[in-house]
Structure 1
């Protein structure tokens, strides 16, 4: 698929990896539909894409709400007249041990609310956006690409019962959708980033950040543009489908 003039939707497109991917693809001529919950961040990202010489629109949407996702993707299809790709990138963290014990006493357990919030956004949100993107692509007769952003935490990372479970689910959807949607000319791929220099990673405790970096064989965190270039590679290679690409500096959890 040629990125030039393609319409690509990006969830979580107002900041972090989403914005980095938007700017990278805008510079390659893609037209962007940026989806996020924070209007101010969205407007800044739209401005950055336009400065790169591309068309971009902002859509405020909670990806965990079915009716909002349906309305948003219908609006994207109406506004642009086509939809050629979606990057399911929106995600949140609510890290913590399932059971935390101090001096022999249970002091905290992961709450159902902490579990559910992450599952709702990171897994259900991917399902809803992937479904609606595919719906519009098929309805419009557009061949297209769905990219799910997972994480190497999908293998299971201590303190991330909710996040690891969601990202494992996101990864499992890739081959399922690739098989189901191939007949419509829709390819599906996933990217599992390692630790990347984003606001989310920057929120980690300094000692945890330092310890994590020391374990990465390449000796550094990844850069957002390195994930963006992986996404562009997927869009441009028409024989890639049903697989995960790990971009993690050789770190394995």
Structure 2
């Protein structure tokens, strides 16, 4: 896909990976619709993209709420025009062990922690993917959907909810790639490893060093590297139905 003047939506676009992707696409002439919860960072992200000479709009929505997603996609189609791409990036963490024994008492992972992650990280991907795909088919615009998975999809200590959601995202990616190809829509995923974000930036140096020592390339990945990987999928018209791992050689 030639990205110049294409219309692309990014969920979780206000900061972190989402903002890095937005800047990457804007630098290549793509117009952006950034979907996120309301925050000053969302408006700032839009202005950063506009400063690069492209159209950019903010759409305030909780991706886990069907009506909000439907309305956001409709508004984006109205303001940007026919959609050509979606990056399902929005996600949350609510880590916790399935159960732990403390002072002889069993403490269980609360249902709220499980459900909140499933709602955003799995149902949110489903809702946004469904609505954008429907919009593409209706307008006849061929496009690309990229889902942000994680190497944790194979299972990770303390992340029953997150790992399950990301495994589901990877499975949906394959399913959609088979179902949507006849409409000229490709679907793929990127599974990041440990990436430098606000969360990892607040870690103690010794903890950070310990994590990096287990990564063969000796460091965490950057948001810009994730953005470039997502961009590769958009630009390579034969990439479809696969999850591209970007983890520096780390396997959980």
TM interval, short-chain normalised: over 0.9
The answer for the alignment partner of 2:251 in structure 1 is 252
Task: Name the count of aligned residue pairs.
Answer: 252
- What is the rounded CA distance, in whole Å, between the counterparts of 2:93 and 2:238 in structure 1? 33
Measured against aligned partners, the alpha-carbon deviations of 1:27-74 in whole angstroms (never above 9, x if no partner) come to 111100000003311101011111222211000000000000011101
The answer for the alignment partner of 1:160 in structure 2 is 159
Matches within 5 A, 1:235-250: 235-250=234-249
Measured against aligned partners, the alpha-carbon deviations of 1:164-203 in whole angstroms (never above 9, x if no partner) come to 0000000111110000000000000000000111124345
The answer for the alignment partner of 1:146 in structure 2 is 145
The answer for the alignment partner of 1:61 in structure 2 is 61
Give the conservation status (yes or no) of the 8 Å contact 1:14–1:38.
no
Q: 1:206 to 1:169 in 2, by over 3 A?
A: farther
The answer for the alignment partner of 2:33 in structure 1 is 33
Cα displacement (A) at 1:105: 3.5
Three-state SS of the structure 2 residue aligned to 1:252 is coil
The answer for the alignment partner of 2:133 in structure 1 is 134
The answer for the alignment partner of 1:86 in structure 2 is 86
Cα displacement (A) at 1:207: 5.8
The answer for the alignment partner of 1:71 in structure 2 is 71
Moved more, 62-71 or 38-47: 38-47
Give the conservation status (yes or no) of the 8 Å contact 1:192–1:247.
yes
Measured against aligned partners, the alpha-carbon deviations of 1:106-151 in whole angstroms (never above 9, x if no partner) come to 2x32100000000000000000000001010001100000000001
Aligned: 1:110 with 2:106: no
The answer for the alignment partner of 1:121 in structure 2 is 120
Three-state SS of the structure 1 residue aligned to 2:32 is strand
The answer for the alignment partner of 2:47 in structure 1 is 47
The answer for the alignment partner of 2:190 in structure 1 is 191
Three-state SS of the structure 2 residue aligned to 1:163 is helix
Three-state SS of the structure 1 residue aligned to 2:50 is helix
Three-state SS of the structure 2 residue aligned to 1:22 is helix
- What is the rounded CA distance, in whole Å, between the counterparts of 1:245 and 1:71 in structure 2? 31
- What is the rounded CA distance, in whole Å, between the counterparts of 2:194 and 2:243 in structure 1? 16
Any gaps of 5 or more consecutive residues in structure 2?
none
Matches within 5 A, 1:153-232: 153-202=152-201, 208-232=207-231
Cα displacement (A) at 1:9: 0.1
TM-score, normalised to structure 2, is: 0.96
- What is the rounded CA distance, in whole Å, between the counterparts of 2:105 and 2:208 in structure 1? 28
Q: 1:28 to 1:175 in 2, by over 3 A?
A: same
- What is the rounded CA distance, in whole Å, between the counterparts of 2:195 and 2:218 in structure 1? 12
TM-score, normalised to structure 1, is: 0.96
Cα displacement (A) at 1:241: 0.4
Give the conservation status (yes or no) of the 8 Å contact 1:69–1:129.
yes
Kindly report the root-mean-square deviation, in angstroms, between the aligned alpha carbons of the 2 structures: 1.4
Task: List structure 1 runs of 4+ shifted beyond 4 angstroms.
Answer: 203-208
Cα displacement (A) at 1:204: 5.7
